[in-house]
Amino acid sequence: MEDCCRGSLLSLLPSLFLLLQLFLTPMSVSTEEFVVIGPSDPIVAMLGGDITLPCRVSPAMNVENMELRWFRSKFSEAVFIYQNQQEQREEQLAQYTGRTSLVKDFLIQGEAAVRIHNVQAFDNGLYTCFFRKGSFYEEASLELRVAGVGSGPQVHIQGPEEDGVRVVCMASGWFPKPQVQWRALSGEKFLTFSETHAQDPEGLFSVEAALVVRDSSSGNVTCSVLNPILGQKKGMAIFIPEPFFPQTSPWKPAFLVILTVLTLLLLGAAFYIKREHTTKCREMQEWEKLHREKEEDQQTKKEALKGRGKAGQRPRQARVAAAWRKARLYAGLASLATLSAVSVTLDPESAHPRLAVYDENTSVTWKDMTEGMEEETCSVLGHDGITSGCCYWEVEIRNGGKSDWVLGVCRGDVERKGWYVELPKKGFWVVGKYDDKFCALLETEVSLGKVPHRVGVFLDLKEGDVSFYNMADGSHMFSFSLASSSGTLFPYFRLKPGDVSLTICSVLGGPVETPVPLNNSPSLEELVSLSGQGFSSGSGVDAALPGAEAPLLLCSPEALSP
């Protein structure tokens, strides 16, 4: 500033020097020194109003003839110039043209002030007042603060957002930059909201502040815009009706959290249990299935016994199913090498003299056709006694419809001389044809329907029962419960005079050897696990299952030929 002063002064130097010579020398006026004093505090001016920027010299002296100048940051940015007792307009900044005047009332007392009319935002800032008398000059700084209160805020609901309602507050025409506050009805301040400011060409500020109200109990929400210089504020309240809020109860988030945690826990538990269970299940599955089948089978037998011939009334499907279970058991057994050699043969020594045992001890028929022997019961036993385990054989009955016959098992110690009855209490568990009826022999005869052509006998000493199957269709016909003290059992066959013959069918493909009862045979369960197939469907066991038309066992060729 001083540089530029000096610059301009330098150009004037020669003329000034002459002037000084002219004035000072004859009048012998001594140069007086002074200081310029401005207001110590900033001057606040209202937008659009008038303001004076006063300065004075000290000691007080007449400043009418001094050069007085108010400028902004640079000497050249003149706001007002007073020289030679006149206002000079050449150097004045365009923004102040027509808006400035000098307050001349106290020039004699050393006080000068510039009045600015219609204060603008532009007028805000620092000023310097400059006083010069001759070659001596002094200056002082002063600050003008412009303040303007703009429009009152306008608040409106913009819409739902996230978990609340977005409200926006707008105000304009403020100077300087206003402060915005959001308050709830309770007076509590909202601390977080977004705020944007803009300045118009005249330098005035507009503000836009957005708030998301999450608590529907906030009631009225107030937006206040504050002028920080004046401390003046304008506000507006808005009432946000309940329906504007998203329908969220405070319990909902808590509930969701609890639900999520519970779900995770349940899933975890379920996964753990399932994994534990799966391994156990796999181990137990075969056992369980086996057990179930056995139980069902026992049930079948019980019902058969209870029903005493009502078997015919049972649904055919159930009977077939039960029978096939046993048949499958046996098929599983038969597939094992240990059983392939098993066959039942007749013991000719045990045969009644009137019976003929033939065809390698597998068939029996009536030999002596002479009359008068009807009073005797003529029977033959299997070669080997059975003491434990399971044993199965099939018997083909030829001309079975014409004369009576009986087959089954009997105790080894039964009396077979003369005439005797074949009842369980006497040690006989048999089915057969009596007087044109096919029946099981209990205390009373239990009719079993049509006379079969092929009967399967399944002796299970482990379970203590003997079951009879009609091998034409695989259906279960009858089961006896054996007395626990049955002792050794033998296959039993009995004929009455006639064409009838009974033939034991040989084991499939196996050689007909000495009959071997399944004395030390492994238990069913062991056999099943040995075979590695269990009862699972689609296994080799099923594949080897004979159909109803395909009997398990082959009868000897001679027996099959008529």
Site residues (vs ligand NAG, CB under 6 A) = 185, 220, 237-239, 345, 347-349, 360-361
DSSP state of 489: E
Residue (232 or 350) nearer to ligand NAG, CB: 350
- From the CB of 170, what's the least distance to ligand NAG, in Å? 16
- Measured distance CA(5)–CA(238) in Å, rounded: 59
- Measured distance CA(285)–CA(291) in Å, rounded: 10
Residue (204 or 559) nearer to ligand NAG, CB: 559
AA letter at 72: R
Which residues, in sequence order, are CB contacts of 82 under 8 Å at separation 6+? 67, 68, 69, 88, 102, 112
Q: How far is CA 82 from CA 78, 85, 321, 502, in A?
A: 11, 6, 128, 154
- From the CB of 345, what's the least distance to ligand NAG, in Å? 6
- From the CB of 270, what's the least distance to ligand NAG, in Å? 53
- From the CB of 349, what's the least distance to ligand NAG, in Å? 6
Residue (431 or 504) nearer to ligand NAG, CB: 504
Residue (424 or 515) nearer to ligand NAG, CB: 515
- From the CB of 239, what's the least distance to ligand NAG, in Å? 4
Residue (128 or 556) nearer to ligand NAG, CB: 556
- Measured distance CA(364)–CA(375) in Å, rounded: 19
| Dihedral Cα 57, 63, 66, 68, nearest 10 deg | 60
How far the first Cα of the chain sits from its last, in Å, is 147
Determine how many CB atoms are found less than 10 A away from the CB of residue 544. Answer: 14
Does the CA dihedral 533-538-541-543 come out positive or negative? negative
Residue (2 or 360) nearer to ligand NAG, CB: 360
Length of the chain: 562
- Measured distance CA(361)–CA(346) in Å, rounded: 5
- From the CB of 357, what's the least distance to ligand NAG, in Å? 7
Specify the pairing of strand 428-434 against strand 164-174.
unpaired
Residue (32 or 360) nearer to ligand NAG, CB: 360
- From the CB of 247, what's the least distance to ligand NAG, in Å? 23
Burial 493-523 (b: 16+ CB within 10 A, else e): bbbbbeebbbbbbbbbebebeebbbbeebbe
Residue (351 or 391) nearer to ligand NAG, CB: 351
- From the CB of 453, what's the least distance to ligand NAG, in Å? 25
Q: How far is CA 38 from CA 107, 246, 373, in A?
A: 15, 60, 162
- From the CB of 238, what's the least distance to ligand NAG, in Å? 5
Residue (83 or 340) nearer to ligand NAG, CB: 340
Is residue 395 within 8 A of residue 504, CB to CB? The reply is yes
